[in-house]
Amino acid sequence: AQTVTQSQPEMSVQEAETVTLSCTYDTSESNYYLFWYKQPPSRQMILVIRQEAYKQQNATENRFSVNFQKAAKSFSLKISDSQLGDTAMYFCAFMKRNTGNQFYFGTGTSLTVIP
Amino acid sequence: KAGVTQTPRYLIKTRGQQVTLSCSPISGHRSVSWYQQTPGQGLQFLFEYFSETQRNKGNFPGRFSGRQFSNSRSEMNVSTLELGDSALYLCASRPGQLNTEAFFGQGTRLTVV
């Protein structure tokens, strides 16, 4: 079974500052994907960033980057130059490769960006 | 291109009733998945449909069922509603089964009273 753990239920950051959200996972799979999804008050889940486990290079999308430590099964999200629009719930998610499209989600981290 | 559309957005039902929720995926997308989101259990996978066939099912009782039509639109049905079924139900669409990026709708908020 796959489990995803987000140990920070709530976090806050000053506008323009940097914040890191933590995520750890447990799996016996060797091929998989990891994701960070954002859920603003509109409730729509929006993909922030995706990492393929077989790629050693950490994924980056503009102000968002990850620190993927495969051996430690850790997948943290760094948000640089935080903006008010970044205020949302952030979910870490796991998906096995080539065996179906089921996401395993963490419990989420509520991030508030303070003006 | 229109996004994933879920209807209705809000629904209030009485315990014991049944409910049907609808999801229209992005045009051209053939895979539709459903998730239940509650404060206590978080986001849990219900099932996935591809080309009108259920490909994967989560650990939910048989009261939860779904189907997919030839135009890829999907419905999920919950019979004999219980208070614990109150949740946000999210639908996600993908072009195909091997695509990893999923596009979510805004969900249907179901309240069972």
Sign of the C-alpha dihedral computed for residues A27, B60, A41 and B6 taken in this order? positive
A102 and chain B: CB distance < 8 Å anywhere?
yes
DSSP B39-107: TTTEEEEEEEEETTEEEEE-S--TTEEEEE-TTS-EEEEE-S--GGG-EEEEEEEESSTT----EE---
What percentage of chain A exceeds 90 in pLDDT? 82
Average pLDDT over residues A28-47: 92
Query: Does the beta-carbon distance from A100 to B94 stay under 8 Å?
Result: no
Mapped onto helix, strand or coil, the DSSP state of residue A78 is: strand
The 10s digit of each residue's pLDDT in B65-91 is 999 999 999 999 999 999 999 999 999
pLDDT at position A31? 87
Pairwise CA distance, residues A104 & A93, whole Å: 5
Nearest chain A residue to B93, by CA: A101
Mapped onto helix, strand or coil, the DSSP state of residue B83 is: helix
The 10s digit of each residue's pLDDT in B18-68 is 999 999 999 999 999 999 999 989 999 999 999 999 998 999 999 999 999
B100 neighbourhood in chain A, CB within 8 Å: 33, 35, 50, 95, 101
Nearest chain B residue to A39, by CA: B106
> Does residue B98 register a pLDDT over 80?
no
A103 and chain B: CB distance < 8 Å anywhere?
yes
Total residues belonging to chain A: 115
Pairwise CA distance, residues A13 & A88, whole Å: 12
Distance from CA of B80 to the nearest CA of A (A): 26
Average pLDDT over residues A22-39: 94
pLDDT at position A101? 73
Please give the structure tokens belonging to residue A45. Answer: 């889940």
pLDDT band at A74 (very low <50, low <70, confident <90, very high): very high
Q: Which residue in this structure is represented by tokens 């139900």? A: B89
Average pLDDT over residues A38-62: 92
Nearest chain A residue to B94, by CA: A101
pLDDT band at A58 (very low <50, low <70, confident <90, very high): very high
pLDDT at position A77? 98
